[in-house]
Amino acid sequence: MNSPISVSTLNTQIKSLLETTFINVYVEGEISNLTYHNSGHIYFSIKDENSTISCVMFKGNTKYLKFQLEVGLKVVITGTITVYTPRGSYQLLCNKIEPSGQGALALAYEQLKAKLHAKGYFNPEIKKTLPKYPKKIALVTSPTGAAIEDMKKVASYRWPLVELVLIPTLVQGDEAKFDIVSSIKFAQTLDVDLIVVGRGGGSIEDLWSFNEEIVATAIYECQKPIISAVGHEIDFLISDFVADIRAATPSNAMEIALPDINEHRIYIDTLSNDFQNRLKNQLLQKQTQLENITKLFEQNSLKSKFNYIQEEISLLKKNFQIYIKNILQMKQNSLNVLQETYKSNHPDKKNLEGYAQVTIDNKITKLEELKIDDIITLQSSKTLVYCRVTNIKKQ
**How far is the C-alpha of 325 from the C-alpha of 25, rounded, in Å?**
144
**Quick one: pLDDT at residue 350?**
54
Q: Is the separation of the CB atoms in 234 and 204 below 8 Å?
A: no
**Quick one: pLDDT at residue 360?**
86
Looking only at Cα atoms, what is the longest distance across the chain? Answer: 219
More confident residue, 181 or 388: 181
CATH architecture observed for domain 7-101: Beta Barrel (2.40)
| Minimum mean pLDDT range among 67-81, 130-144, 245-259, 289-303 | 289-303
**Quick one: pLDDT at residue 237?**
93
Taking residues 321-347, report their average pLDDT. Answer: 80
**Quick one: pLDDT at residue 252?**
94
| Minimum mean pLDDT range among 26-35, 141-150, 330-339 | 330-339
Topology adopted by domain 111-262: Rossmann fold (3.40.50)
Residue 382, pLDDT > 80, answer no
Residue 349, pLDDT > 80, answer no
Domain ranges of the chain: 7-101, 111-262, 357-389
Q: How confident is residue 293, by pLDDT bands cut at 50, 70 and 90?
A: confident
**Quick one: pLDDT at residue 155?**
95
Residue 101, pLDDT > 90, answer no
Residue 345, pLDDT > 70, answer no
Average pLDDT, the chain: 88
Q: β-strands 163-168, 194-199: how paired? A: unpaired
**Quick one: pLDDT at residue 351?**
54
**Quick one: pLDDT at residue 250?**
94
| Minimum mean pLDDT range among 136-150, 195-209, 331-345 | 331-345
Residue 212, pLDDT > 90, answer yes
More confident residue, 391 or 302: 391
Taking residues 78-105, report their average pLDDT. Answer: 86
